[in-house]
Amino acid sequence: MKAKNLAIITTLNHNIGDDFVREGILYLLEKKFGDIKVFNIHKHIPITVRKEFEWIYSSGLTRAIDKLPGISGLYLSKVLDSLPIIRNTDKILNADILVQSGAPVYWCHQANHCADNEWYKPLIIKRYMKIKRHIPFLDIAAGSCQAYFSDGYEFVNCDRCASYIREIHNLAQVTTIRDKLAKKILNSLGLDAPVIPCPSIFASARFGIEPQEPRYVCLNYMRGGGHYDFDQNINISYWERTFSTFYNLIKDKYDCVFVCHNQRELQDAKKIDHQAKIFISRNHKEYLRFYAQAKCGVVNRVHAAFAIAGFGRPSFVIGSDSRIRMVEEIGLRHAFVSEVDAKKLLAEFEHLLKEGKKYQEAILGTKRQAYQDYMAALEKV
């Protein structure tokens, strides 16, 4: 059979976690459909849907433009996409399947609305609407991104976001969601979808990377515990002191490595200990190979925890927004950054060491069930 053309809305060289999610989804889709030919679309620069303009992102041009006052890479993307579409070079118009790769899809906070995201209009409204009767759209592992304790009420009171969510939900032949808050948001709008653990737990399987002998404790530190404050008055200095105190309590007894997903995290790790062992790479496969040797993790990055879990090892996750709560689907514990002190971190770390073997057994069953649930969801295609 001819390989299916699969256009996937994702990010590229932007966020290691997004890479893990994409690879996990592709693993599942290859199991379902066999050979697929993948065409990545960087959602923050939607002009990458057009092969002839991929270079403006891959060359670094748009990132350079972002540093200039009064202009942005996204603006350039919009200008270029006003040119007539060349159908035979357009990734969506030539796709057999279109996929939205797991990411926050539902968010609503003051002036920030999911209805205003940068990819929906150019990719879905402008393109997919033309071919929606002919190819399926799969919205896989859609998630929420709200304040840590949000109950989703924000969407009931926002007609714009509610309308957008209904529209994208009705366009998708398959929708799966990765956290319970996302389900609550859908249910509040009269919609529904199955909650299935984020596909990132399958990322290592796509490359055939197997668990290795556990060697080190993975530490991931983010300033303020996450990407967003969401008016929760997070004390950045307090979290730095807390993490630093915890690190100094365990560093002499255990082989600890700071895993940094970007240069900012590298700088912050060195601030905590300029002599700390640090892992950083530009290649997401190298992260997976590194995580294959983890004993456990104490992390801010939720997808660090999912990658480690993919190898049967547990983590404790500390964060600032609702994405952290998705680790409940793989049996991990989590906490809001402002409610954690060094004593709490140490207790959770000792719990990981004590219960690691039990977790290894439990996650195998979780992954098996998640695989079955994804295959069942994809039966609609």
Domains of the chain: which residue ranges? 4-195, 211-365
Average pLDDT in the chain: 96
- What is d(CA 89, CA 41) in angstroms, rounded to the nearest whole number? 13
Q: Residue 362 — pLDDT band, cuts 50, 70, 90?
A: very high
Q: Residue 196 — pLDDT band, cuts 50, 70, 90?
A: very high
Q: Residue 199 — pLDDT band, cuts 50, 70, 90?
A: very high
pTM: 0.96
CB 3 within 8 A of CB 37: yes
Predicted pLDDT at 110:
86
- What is d(CA 61, CA 72) in angstroms, rounded to the nearest whole number? 10
Q: Quick one: average pLDDT of 167-195? A: 97
Nearest alpha carbon to residue 104 among 233, 230, 256: 230
Q: What is the CA radius of gyration of the chain?
A: 21
Which pair of structure tokens corresponds to residue 164? 């957008």
Residue type, 74: L
- What is d(CA 54, CA 102) in angstroms, rounded to the nearest whole number? 22
Predicted pLDDT at 70:
85
Which CATH code is given to the segment(s) 211-365?
3.40.50.2000
**214 CB contacts (<8 Å, ≥6 apart)?**
293, 294, 295, 313
Tell me which residue has tokens 């190979």.
289
- What is d(CA 311, CA 19) in angstroms, rounded to the nearest whole number? 17
- What is d(CA 271, CA 282) in angstroms, rounded to the nearest whole number? 21
Strand partners, 32: none
- Helices H, strands E: what count in the chain? 14, 14
**279 CB contacts (<8 Å, ≥6 apart)?**
257, 258, 259, 260, 287, 290
- Phi-psi region for residue 297, left (φ > 0), alpha (ψ -120 to 50) or beta? beta
Which pair of structure tokens corresponds to residue 151? 């109950």
Q: Do domains 4-195 and 211-365 have the same CATH topology?
A: yes
pLDDT at 258 over 70: yes
Q: Residue 1 — pLDDT band, cuts 50, 70, 90?
A: low
- What is d(CA 366, CA 97) in angstroms, rounded to the nearest whole number? 27
Strand partners, 10: 42
DSSP string, 274-326: TT-EEE--S-HHHHHHHHTTEEEEEES-HHHHHHHHTTT--EEEEESBGGGGG
Nearest alpha carbon to residue 200 among 322, 370, 11: 370
Nearest alpha carbon to residue 93 among 40, 50, 139, 35: 50
Over residues 94-142, the pLDDT tens digits come to 999 999 999 999 999 988 999 999 999 999 999 999 999 999 999 999 9
In the three-class reduction of DSSP (H, G, I as helix; E, B as strand; rest coil), residue 41 is classed as: strand
DSSP state of 120: I
Over residues 35-91, the pLDDT tens digits come to 999 999 999 999 999 999 999 999 999 999 999 888 899 999 999 999 999 999 999
Cα dihedral 194, 195, 199, 205 sign: negative
Lowest-confidence segment of 108-112, 235-239, 244-248, 303-307 by average pLDDT: 108-112
The proportion of the chain whose per-residue pLDDT surpasses 90, expressed as a percent, equals 95
Class of domain 4-195 (CATH, top level): alpha beta
Apex CA 301: angle with CA 296 and CA 305, to 5°?
35
- Helices 16-33, 342-377: inter-axial angle, 10-degree rounding: 30
DSSP state of 3: P
Tally of residues, the chain: 381
